[in-house]
Chains A and B, each alone.
Chain A
């Protein structure tokens, strides 16, 4: 099946060169096929989608009209099973939809599936999903990355032009890099999080996967804006990102984060970064190396682990098997809760909750949770010093290609990851817009670079990515699979 971008599909529908109903018939055949290969989806919503398109009035003035969408399965979708890839939510049917879902529904998009994630979005490999690991479309022995792995993989397979994800540490940007697609989380507060099952409230961002920057600017534009249901959503006006796309980045100041660059040992990734730097210079940008305090860079992961686990522990206290979710039998309300949570969560999640509970205990709160929040401020202040002089901070997405399923570790607490595999958390600590763009290959697997801008300067991030995309050969790349 040919992989279309949003813009291509829109023009085909508009010019009546492609029948919407025929397109959806073939899309579901392909979706089933890709899911068999990748295990990327939890639920395929064929019945709902076909019903919707049978009543759909195509709007030629709306780029998203009749475009298929896949949601990460932590987005609440009214009447459609929403599991967050956790056993405890296996039977959960939300009674309302997330604001992001409603916004796309208002644009006449068509939901075709819910995508797999690491359980409760807590992980970076997508191996902890209740439905099993998601495979990378470029090499199915490798991971997709996580936690938005299903969304990344299904977009990278070419079957849909976009999918939504969420990002607490790097959960959109890392899988986007591993799967060779565009992944973007705008500024914290730019997109309402109402109705998305949370992980860590002060770090959670929503965002999307696409295969082009044009498509990303359309999707992010549709999702952004104030929502009174999410009191952390910003009241700032939303620019027309798509209309304002501009490849002219002459004079834009780009900082390469030396602390990260110096840690890379994979020669392909070093060479790729150098190619990207030269491309930016040719495009007229000013590119310079900058450093953050090394001690603070090493503190990113420790502070993140403490804050994220603590907030997760608190957020998920509502999962008790009583009001919703899978209930285990018990002789008392407490026993029901304990049994439901014991059997409903994996060991991995339980470990994280225990550590979160430890950091939140009255006797530990000041030295663990509050201390981590203070260190977070130091890190963010240090980062913001760079933004006083530079518009963009540029880093590789990862130090290597997607690992194999056997080699991948869900445990990001270990020392070896300290800076190189955790620097994208800077964007969650500071809330800054951060975008992954495919930039090359290593050992036949895609690699990417990350472009991070100032708060609410999504347009600058998109323009810089748009300019780079135009001088690299990876626009709209995808991998259907060799059997195709």
Chain B
């Protein structure tokens, strides 16, 4: 496995999934296009330009009163959990 394949597989694992060898050719192709995009952006002078994190800057946030609201009942929160025991999410033991 060359360095690039190893790097991409490692990035996938950090994102908590595996890439198979069969998936690698398309991954590499897309990586190369992506890096070309990065180069294109490098050619644009952004000296003194602030990043734009949202489309426009308008304050829509505020500190609300510290009151309990929008509670989710434990029973509801656990409705989609694949494995529940005594109102808890069951997972394999971490310490063995």
Residues of A within 8 A of B (CB): 91-93, 95-96, 188-189, 202-203, 226, 228-229, 231-235, 295-296, 298-299, 301-303, 305-306, 313, 317, 320-327, 330-338, 341-342, 345, 347, 350-351, 353-355, 357-358, 361, 367-368, 370-378, 380, 411, 413-414, 428-432, 455
Contact = CB atoms under 8 A, between A and B. Distances in A.
A249 to B, nearest CB: 25
A377 B14 CA distance: 30
Contact of B89 (A203, A232, A322): A322
Contacts of B53: 202, 373
B49 A374 contact: yes
A303 B52 CA distance: 11
B33 A414 contact: yes
Given A338-B13, A350-B19, A327 B34 contact: no
Nearest to B37: A302
Contact of A411 (B12, B16, B30, B76): B30
A350 B17 contact: yes
Interface string B42-75: 1110100111111110101100100000101000
A83 B52 CA distance: 31
A323 B30 contact: no
- In the A-B complex, the 7 residue pairs with the smallest Cβ-Cβ separation, listed nearest first, are A431-B55, A373-B51, A302-B37, A324-B80, A377-B52, A327-B82, A341-B17
B81 A233 contact: no
Q: Tell which of B12, B23, B52, B76 has the most Cβ of chain A within 10 Å.
A: B52
B78 to A, nearest CB: 9
B16 A373 contact: no
B38 interface: yes
Interface residues of B, number: 50
A391 B26 CA distance: 43
Nearest to A377: B52
A361 B56 CA distance: 26
B20 to A, nearest CB: 8
Given A350-B23, A351-B26, A355-B30, A331 B92 contact: yes
A358 B11 contact: yes
Given A232-B54, A336-B91, A430-B56, A375 B46 contact: yes
Nearest to B50: A377
Given A232-B60, A330-B92, A333-B92, A354 B19 contact: yes
Contacts, number: 170
B17 A338 contact: yes
Given A358-B11, A413-B33, A375 B41 contact: yes
Contacts of A91: 80
A353 B17 contact: yes
A306 B83 CA distance: 36
Nearest to B40: A302
Contacts of A337: 16
Given A95-B72, A321-B82, A337-B16, A371 B40 contact: no
A380 B51 CA distance: 11
Contacts of A368: 38
23 contacts: A203-B55, A226-B60, A234-B60, A305-B37, A317-B15, A321-B82, A330-B92, A332-B92, A332-B94, A341-B15, A350-B12, A350-B23, A351-B23, A357-B11, A358-B31, A371-B38, A373-B52, A374-B50, A375-B44, A376-B52, A380-B55, A411-B33, A413-B37
A371 B46 contact: yes
B94 A333 contact: yes
B37 A378 contact: no
Given A332-B92, A334-B16, A351-B26, 16 more contacts: A93-B79, A93-B80, A189-B60, A231-B60, A322-B82, A324-B80, A335-B92, A347-B23, A350-B12, A351-B30, A354-B27, A355-B30, A367-B42, A373-B52, A378-B49, A380-B55
Nearest to A233: B60
